[in-house]
A and B are shown apart, each in its own frame.
Chain A
Amino acid sequence: MKYFFVLLILNSSFLIFNLNQANAVPMDSSRFKIESANVSVTGGNKSSDSYKLSDTVGQLAAGQFLSNGYVVKAGFQYLYSIIPFRFSISNTNINFGALAPNSPSTDTTNLTVHFGDVGNYQVTAIENGPLKTQSGNVISDTACNGGGYTCNESIAKVWTSTTSYGFGYNITGDDIPNDFIDTTYFRPFPDLTTGELPITIMTNNNVRKNRRSTLTFKTNVSSVQPAGSYQTIISFVATPSY
């Protein structure tokens, strides 16, 4: 009987102290207001063998524009609702641990985009310089295995050799570039400090509930790489379309 009493107390305390937080899910939505367009024609048609071209000068929602001096529309007209655009990164601190020569280090993060059922989006990535120590030692961006397997910012190639050094990434999952054939394919990030432009790593015209990709960061150093804390910042920018 005593054991049961002790057990009951222990169970109750564990239940109280270990209950997970209950999260409410917001279920509200704002309806989209469609403004009717009024386009008055003052232009004409032009044509060629392959197309016809028309130009015109029109007015959009003329009454409202004249009275207020502006017309505002929010959201995508073809969606008929204002759907929030959501972007998540599961791990913001990519940890390679203590780097060992000829022994690649990797870490992963998940990128998730939520944009209702429809809507074009893009996620771009760029590095704020290569992996670098405060004293200026650098781990260069990867060229993958080299030779016929030389990758660059826009073409992924196989990087499996332990004697090929550098820093790069692989991506798997939804809406990714199709040159990432499998998990052995890598690219270097574009470098902001050399004036390179961000590269699109996820994009889709028709978004489902959650579009998710897994980004694997990899670095491999040679035995002559100076010791130190190598750091960089990778910027991910998620934007909806227009």
Chain B
Amino acid sequence: MTNKQIGFKFFFLFLYLFIFLFFYSGNVRAQQVSLSISPPLLELFIKPGKSIMVAYNLKNYGDPIFLNLKILPFEAKDELGNIRIKQEFEGPVRFDLDNSDLKLDQPFFLKTNDTQQILLRIRIPENITDGDFYYSLLAETIPPTASEGIGSARTKATIGSNILITISNSGDVEIKPKIALFSIQGGLPLNKEVKIFDSSDKIPIILTVANKGKNMIRPEGQINLKGNFGETAKYDIISKNILAGSERLMEATPSAQIDYDNKNTLVLSGFFIGKYNLSAQITFGENSPTIFGSTIIFYAFPFKIAGGILLALITVIFIIKKKKG
């Protein structure tokens, strides 16, 4: 074999390895966290002196990580269903883990794609006054170690699952709702209760229910639309919990999209003409009393179309007059 042939072989091998280095090299990844928890919500209706065990699944889809479990109370932050987690534990409910190898507030290791079953024991002491208590089971990561010599911000990820506990000695719950707000947004107000819209306008409706009782409630019902030509439409309210002493903006189908900034329950769209009545009807379970939102009225007229026709007519008359002149 000549030197030229050997050189050619080396060159060929080098080229081959160089190409494959680019095509087959793995991606360099930053450390990532990806956790899932199930169930995301637990509702417990329990007598004082009782205790139950609930199984949660915590799965690690990200890199291997140290995690810490803790329980903190929370309260409703706003009427949109957001929560504010308190910094310190409070309340009479006692939480422990039934796992032999896990404890609350003690870090444990979870490998990639591993699932940790969390056996949460919830104990209600005797002689507790009836009422609601709201907590979050939180799994928080231990941040990575700091890099020396550079500026850096390390992130800590926490995932939570909410626990809603109603304590009742007799099994009775207090259902004390109030329609805090039922109104139409926008439009031209004719008076306090009547608004005027263009026929093609979208009509946003707000329905907020307040819970004045000491137990959480879950409203069901409809928003009804009735036109002056006998046309009717029903929009079902999506049943969601309202915590004790809080308010919640309801969602109704079919739109059922709460706009975080505009805060609507329902947006009516279509071509409206004439007078329309809107009413709300809400219940809180079988045999419970129904509460009614007062009827609100709006009128819709085709102002834009009429304006367009009028403008066209004026233009035509102007042109004709100009031609004649």
| Contact call A70/B46, Cβ cutoff below 8 A | yes
Q: Which residues of A contact B134 (CB under 8 A)?
A: 242
With beta carbons under 8 angstroms apart, the residue of A86, A89, A204 that contacts B155 is A89
| Contact call B175/A58, Cβ cutoff below 8 A | yes
CA distance A119 to B149 in the complex (A): 43
Q: Which residues of B contact A86 (CB under 8 A)?
A: 34-37, 61, 159
Q: 7 closest A-B pairs (Cβ-Cβ)?
A: A96-B151, A86-B36, A88-B34, A84-B38, A91-B30, A239-B160, A241-B81
A120 interface residue (CB < 8 Å to B): yes
| Contact call B260/A204, Cβ cutoff below 8 A | yes
| Contact call A238/B160, Cβ cutoff below 8 A | yes
| Contact call B182/A92, Cβ cutoff below 8 A | no
A184 interface residue (CB < 8 Å to B): no
Interface hits, A111-154 → B, CB 8 Å? 112, 114-115, 119-120, 122, 127, 131, 139
Task: Specify the main secondary structure of chain A where it touches its partner.
Answer: strand
Q: Which residues of A contact B239 (CB under 8 A)?
A: 77-78
Instruction: Please name 7 pairs of A and B residues whose Cβ atoms are closer than 8 Å in the assembled complex, sorted by A.
Output: A38-B286, A60-B171, A74-B39, A85-B36, A205-B80, A233-B156, A239-B85
Interface hits, A60-104 → B, CB 8 Å? 60-62, 65-66, 69-78, 82-99
CA distance A206 to B253 in the complex (A): 12
Chain B interface residues (CB < 8 Å from chain A): 12, 16, 20, 24, 26, 30-47, 49-50, 52, 54, 57, 59, 61-62, 74, 76, 80-85, 113, 134, 136, 138, 140-141, 143-144, 146-162, 164, 166, 168, 171-180, 182, 212-213, 218, 238-241, 243, 251, 256-258, 260-261, 284-294
| Contact call A233/B291, Cβ cutoff below 8 A | no
A51 interface residue (CB < 8 Å to B): yes
| Contact call B175/A92, Cβ cutoff below 8 A | no
Q: How far is the CB of A184 from chain B (nearest CB, A)?
A: 20
Q: How far is the CB of B57 from chain A (nearest CB, A)?
A: 7
Most chain A CB inside 10 Å of its own CB: which residue of B38, B74, B141:
B38
Chain B residue at minimum C-beta to C-beta distance from A120: B81
A5 interface residue (CB < 8 Å to B): no
A56 interface residue (CB < 8 Å to B): yes
Q: A54-B290, A85-B40 are in contact. Are A230 and B257 (CB under 8 A)?
A: no
Q: Which residues of A contact B261 (CB under 8 A)?
A: 178
| Contact call B162/A72, Cβ cutoff below 8 A | no
Q: A96-B150, A229-B148, A231-B154 are in contact. Are A18 and B251 (CB under 8 A)?
A: no
Q: A54-B291, A56-B175, A56-B288 are in contact. Are A84 and B153 (CB under 8 A)?
A: no
**Can you list, as one digit per residue, whether each of A30-61 has a CB less than 8 Å from chain B (1) or not (0)?**
10000011111101110001111111111111
